[in-house]
């Protein structure tokens, strides 16, 4: 029995010292000290010894058990320390490594153009308004002097939500003229940028959704000269000093007289080229003096007050500003295109 104990002791200690993991160590504990363990088996045989032999053998067995238990404890601590060290090494953060710069995006070219426009108008004392895209036909048409039967009210041109054609996606930002007249104190100077919707097929210059910037001034003694002077100033600030404009008579139900303003072609300088379709000029906006009927419908006395309004297509303004050839590029959001601005 003595030899047996010595053999167990030597084997167990060497195995325990070489254990590589907590699981392996626990396996050895069970193998030697568990209920069916090797040392336990020897201890069970104690009863068969003579009373003289028993005390010495018992002491020896207890010593072996104590040696194994402390070996387990020590190796356990060693393994724990090793694991901690490995984890610290693996999780070490080198604070001296330069950081990764996050990739920053930037504004869409159309909004860059809008920001420029806003800056110019804010500098002239205009307020920027936001308005609903889902609009009442009353505001989009009736109060702008485009009564029942006006061609732009047709279902082939406008997106309606109801069969009575009362609620619609606004087809222009001009309803913001009415909303401003109804809610703001006079005099008024506003611009109102935003999305508008028309039933157009997508091509290089058309989209069923596009953006306009509406502008309006109402004050005493406002004339067409103010309209021309203001818009010429805006164009020079946007496209450079000396950029020429031309005003052509036009018709809008809510302005009288009405006009369209063209800008001299940036590509050919007015000689005529494919960009301006040989015209030398590119249409930029619609404008006019606010119709006295429109003022009256919003409760403003046309004998005292007068005003003008305009509506610019924002995509086309951006296309000209950044020399973009196709409207679809503005909406496709291809980063290879957007990264160029
Ligand atoms: N709302 C007009 C359009 O969409 C543009 C416009 C605005 C004309 C304001 C005159 C005054 O074509």
pLDDT in tens, 115-137: 999 999 999 999 999 999 999 99
* Higher per-residue confidence, 148 vs 4: 148
CA-to-CA distance for 84 and 81, rounded, in angstroms? 5
pLDDT in tens, 41-50: 888 888 888 8
Q: Which residues contact 75 (CB under 8 A, 6 or more apart)?
A: 16, 17, 19, 25
**What is the token pair recorded at 59?**
């002491």
Q: How confident is the model at residue 254 (pLDDT cuts 50, 70, 90)?
A: very high
Asked whether the beta carbons of 243 and 321 are under 8 A apart, the reply is no
Tell me what pLDDT residue 175 has: 98
Q: What is the pTM of this model?
A: 0.71
CA-to-CA distance for 149 and 122, rounded, in angstroms? 38
**What is the token pair recorded at 81?**
């320390």
Whether the pLDDT of residue 214 is over 90: the answer is yes
| Cα 212 to averaged position of ligand 1 atoms, centre (Å) | 9
**What is the token pair recorded at 325?**
């050839």
State if residue 210 touches ligand 1 by the CB under 6 angstroms criterion.
no
Q: How confident is the model at residue 237 (pLDDT cuts 50, 70, 90)?
A: very high
Q: What's the chain's length in residues? A: 341
State if residue 197 touches ligand 1 by the CB under 6 angstroms criterion.
no
State if residue 172 touches ligand 1 by the CB under 6 angstroms criterion.
yes
State if residue 313 touches ligand 1 by the CB under 6 angstroms criterion.
no
Q: Please choose from 294, 311, 313, 317 the residue to mutate so as to test ligand 1's pocket, defined by most ligand atoms within 8 A of CB.
A: 311
Q: Where are the domains of the chain?
A: 2-90, 109-338
For residue 144, give the nearest of 306, 302, 293 by alpha carbon: 293
First vs last C-alpha separation in the chain = 90
Specify the CATH class of 109-338 in words.
Answer: alpha beta
| Cα 311 to averaged position of ligand 1 atoms, centre (Å) | 4
- Name the 3-class secondary structure at 218: strand
Atom 12 of ligand 1 has which residue's CA nearest to it?
286
β-strands 306-313, 209-219 pairing: antiparallel
For residue 197, give the nearest of 211, 184, 208, 186 by alpha carbon: 208
Ligand 1 atom at shortest distance from the alpha carbon of 172 = 4
Whether the pLDDT of residue 225 is over 80: the answer is yes
Q: Please choose from 179, 257, 286 the residue to mutate so as to test ligand 1's pocket, defined by most ligand atoms within 8 A of CB.
A: 286
């Amino acid at each position: 029995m003595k030899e047996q104990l010595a053999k167990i002791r030597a084997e167990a200690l060497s195995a325990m010292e070489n254990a590589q993991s907590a699981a392996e160590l626990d396996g050895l504990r069970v193998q030697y000290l568990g209920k069916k363990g090797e040392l336990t088996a020897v201890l069970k045989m104690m009863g068969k010894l003579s009373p003289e032999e028993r005390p010495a053998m018992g002491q020896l067995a207890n010593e072996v058990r104590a040696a194994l238990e402390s070996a387990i404890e020590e190796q356990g601590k060693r393994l724990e320390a090793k694991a901690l060290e490995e984890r610290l090494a693996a999780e070490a953060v080198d604070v001296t490594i330069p950081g990764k710069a996050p990739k920053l995006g930037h504004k869409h070219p159309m909004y860059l153009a809008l920001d420029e426009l806003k800056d110019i108008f804010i500098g002239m004392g205009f307020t920027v308004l936001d308005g609903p895209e889902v609009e009442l036909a009353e505001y989009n048409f009736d109060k702008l002097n485009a009564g029942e039967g006006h061609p732009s009210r047709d279902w082939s041109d406008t997106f309606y939500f109801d069969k009575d054609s009362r609620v619609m996606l606004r087809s222009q930002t001009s309803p913001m003229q009415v909303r401003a007249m109804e809610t703001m104190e006079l005099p008024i100077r506003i611009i109102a940028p935003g999305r508008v919707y028309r039933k157009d097929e997508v091509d290089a210059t058309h989209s069923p959704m596009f953006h306009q910037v509406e502008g309006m001034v109402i004050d005493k003694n406002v004339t067409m000269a103010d309209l021309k002077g203001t818009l010429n100033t805006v164009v020079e600030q946007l496209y450079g000093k000396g950029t020429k404009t031309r005003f052509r008579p036009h018709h809008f139900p809510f302005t009288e007289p009405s006009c369209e303003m063209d800008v001299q072609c940036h590509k050919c300088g007015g000689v005529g080229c494919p960009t301006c379709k040989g015209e030398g000029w590119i249409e930029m906006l619609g404008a006019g003096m606010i119709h006295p009927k429109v003022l009256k419908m919003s409760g403003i006395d046309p004998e005292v007050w007068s005003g003008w309004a305009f509506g610019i297509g924002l995509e086309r303004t951006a296309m000209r500003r950044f020399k973009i050839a196709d409207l679809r590029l503005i909406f496709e959001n291809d980063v290879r295109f957007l990264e160029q601005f």
